[in-house]
Structure 1
Amino acid sequence: MQNKTLTFILGLFGLIGAIILCVAIYSLCTTYRSDISDYYVLLGMGVVFLLIGVVPLIMSIRRKNLNAQLLQTGRAIQAKVTSVEFNQALTVNGRNPFVIYCQWSDPLASNTLYLFRSGNIWFNPSDFIKNETVTVYIDENNPKNYYVDLTFLPQVV
Structure 2
Amino acid sequence: MTRRVSLEDESEFAIWRFGGVVEEAPSRRVMIGHRDKAIGESLLLLLSLKGFDAVYAADVIKLDRFLKWWKPHAILLDTRLDSASDYQFTRAVREEPSNAGILLLAMSNIWPLDPIAGLKQAGFDGHCRRPCSLWRVVDILEGYFVHAKAGPGDLH
Task: Give me the TM-score of the superposition, normalised by structure 1.
Answer: 0.23
Q: Indicate the structure whose relative CO is greater, using CA pairs within 8 Å and at least 6 residues apart.
A: 2
Task: Give me the TM-score of the superposition, normalised by structure 2.
Answer: 0.23
Flag the structure with higher strand content: 1
